[in-house]
């Protein structure tokens, strides 16, 4: 079977030579940007996030391997103290000239309860390692995000989520946490012990202290069937509410300027294992980029070429344990903005975002992602007491992303959206207070555990005021 990249490029390849001038222009605009120097004038070593749009030169780096070492690091740390996981946030949550505190060595499964289906996990554990570790004890997390490279603590701190009707974000299944406060005090919190700290810090932006351990409510290990189907975008938008109800997990990716979307569903099954094949997402993205490069100034031709090329692509079906299928490899770097809207506003807002991009941003080629997330009760959760539909727009890491703020963010804000804490947005404390009913209470808890503001870098200061 032909790969998706070959299919997508089949109708465009013959035009490549004639469009070499356009391709050359786009190559120039998309060339690799100049990287910050590896050392600054004081000899401090560069830290950069995954996308390369945030960086810093911390004075101190710490990587504790035990909770006791974390306590000692917090007691002697130079402010601002900023914990770092995998650097998958696109905002400036991490950059600091003070102490950069990595949790990479604080990882692994600490204990589990087979009767209650709970597991206590060290905070620096990567989600990619947590899946097989839980599978070995017959457990799985109820859901996983699209990418599994984040640390557990980083995913919780930013409200990271997957998709599914009635399925909560990662933090929604946390039953207890151990949090090392800026003073070095170890705070155990849950719904029964220090509940205000539990509700405020479960999605805490690394601003309340540093998580050392998390107890997760899991479920029995299961097998799921993943189906990826190309559909017409207009039909997808009409069918989305029913599809979201029908499947355990459902999401879709709008492929701009093509009229097509990729519907992705996961459902529990007893069918025999059919492992996922080699990853083709990189080829697909680069094919969409090549179509953009060739037809950027002729959107009608771009759409016709894409639709002709995609007409015969069959569904992709995989069957395996959920942790193997729910998350994906994403080696192509990008920048992202994601807002979480009241579910009833999602489709109308998405239509408007698509229209604006296809009218005013012909350089966009990355898919637009739509998901659904259940409500929870964490005070700073974007899903606080509200079932939400998310909309995420992306730009290749080498290319300009200001169009997100000009074209997409106004639509998402007008629809009542709350921003993903790890993704690009322009909001500060005043706007966030209006969006989060318990924002003031969370601020009060934060001040009580960090009265000197040791956890606040400039970006987090903008959020909390």
Digits of tens for pLDDT over the chain (465 positions)?
A: 334 444 444 444 434 434 456 666 777 678 888 889 999 999 999 999 999 999 999 999 999 999 999 999 999 999 999 999 999 999 999 999 999 999 999 999 999 999 999 999 999 999 999 999 999 999 999 999 999 999 999 999 999 999 999 999 999 999 999 999 999 999 999 999 999 999 999 999 999 999 999 999 999 999 999 999 999 999 999 999 999 999 999 999 999 999 999 999 999 999 999 999 888 888 999 999 999 999 999 999 999 999 998 988 999 999 999 999 999 888 999 999 999 999 999 999 999 999 999 999 999 999 999 999 999 999 999 999 999 999 999 999 999 999 999 999 999 999 999 999 999 999 999 999 999 999 999 999 999 999 999 999 999 999 998
Exposure class string for 149-180: b at 16+ Cβ within 10 A, else e:
bbbbbbbbbbbbbbbbbebbbbbbbbebbbbb
Domains of the chain: 47-102 (3.30.43), 109-220+430-464 (3.30.465.10), 223-419 (3.40.462.10)
Torsion (CA) 168, 169, 174, 179 in degrees, nearest 10: -160
pLDDT at 163: 98
As a whole number of angstroms, the distance between CA 268 and CA 249 comes to: 10
Which residues, in sequence order, are CB contacts of 451 under 8 Å at separation 6+? none
> According to the model, what pLDDT value does residue 15 have?
41
Tokens of 56: 């810093």
pLDDT at 20: 52
The first and second tokens of residue 45, run together, are 């070593």
Q: Give the per-residue pLDDT at 143.
A: 94
**How much is the pLDDT for 7?**
40
The rounded distance, in Å, linking the Cα atoms of 81 and 89 is 17
pLDDT at 12: 41
């Amino acid at each position: 079977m032909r790969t998706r990249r070959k299919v997508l490029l089949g109708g465009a390849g013959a035009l490549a030579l004639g469009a070499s001038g356009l391709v050359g222009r786009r190559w120039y605009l998309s060339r690799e940007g100049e990287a910050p120097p590896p050392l600054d004038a004081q000899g401090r070593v560069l830290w950069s996030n995954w996308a390369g749009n945030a960086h810093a030169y911390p004075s101190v780096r710490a990587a504790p391997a035990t909770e006791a070492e974390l306590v000692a690091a917090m007691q002697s740390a130079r402010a601002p103290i900023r914990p770092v996981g995998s650097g998958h946030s696109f905002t400036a949550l991490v950059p600091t000239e003070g102490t950069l505190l990595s949790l990479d060595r604080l990882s692994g499964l600490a204990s589990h309860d087979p009767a209650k289906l709970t597991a206590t996990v060290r905070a620096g554990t990567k989600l990619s390692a947590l899946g097989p570790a839980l599978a070995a004890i017959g457990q799985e997390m109820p859901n996983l995000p699209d990418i599994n490279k984040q640390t557990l603590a980083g995913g919780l701190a930013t409200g990271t989520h997957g998709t599914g009707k009635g399925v909560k974000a990662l933090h929604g299944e946390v039953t207890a946490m151990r949090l090392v406060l800026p003073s070095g005090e170890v705070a155990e919190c849950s719904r029964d012990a220090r509940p205000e700290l539990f509700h405020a810090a479960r999605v805490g932006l690394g601003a309340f202290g540093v998580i050392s351990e998390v107890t997760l409510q899991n479920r029995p290990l299961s097998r799921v069937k993943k189906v990826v189907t190309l559909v017409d975008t207009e039909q997808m938008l009409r069918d989305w509410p029913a599809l979201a109800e029908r499947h355990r997990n459902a999401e879709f990716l709008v492929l701009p300027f093509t009229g097509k979307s990729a519907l992705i569903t996961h459902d529990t099954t007893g069918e025999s294992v059919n492992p996922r094949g080699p990853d083709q997402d990189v080829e697909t993205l680069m094919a969409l980029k090549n179509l953009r490069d060739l037809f950027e100034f002729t959107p009608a031709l771009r759409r016709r070429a894409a639709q002709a090329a995609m007409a015969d692509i069959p569904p992709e079906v995989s069957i395996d344990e959920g942790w193997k299928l729910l998350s994906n490899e994403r080696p192509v770097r990008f920048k992202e903005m994601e807002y979480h809207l009241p579910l009833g506003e999602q489709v109308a807002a998405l239509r408007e975002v698509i229209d604006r991009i296809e009218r005013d941003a012909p350089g966009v080629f990355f898919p637009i992602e739509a998901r659904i997330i259940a409500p929870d009760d964490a005070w700073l959760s974007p899903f606080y007491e509200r079932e939400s539909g998310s909309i995420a727009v992306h730009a290749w890491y080498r290319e300009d992303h200001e169009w997100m703020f000009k074209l997409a963010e106004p639509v998402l804000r007008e629809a009542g959206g709350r921003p993903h804490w790890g993704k690009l947005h322009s909001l500060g404390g005043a706007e966030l207070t209006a969006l989060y009913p318990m924002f003031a209470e969370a601020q009060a808890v934060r001040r009580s555990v960090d009265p000197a503001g040791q956890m606040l870098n400039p970006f987090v200061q903008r959020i909390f005021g």
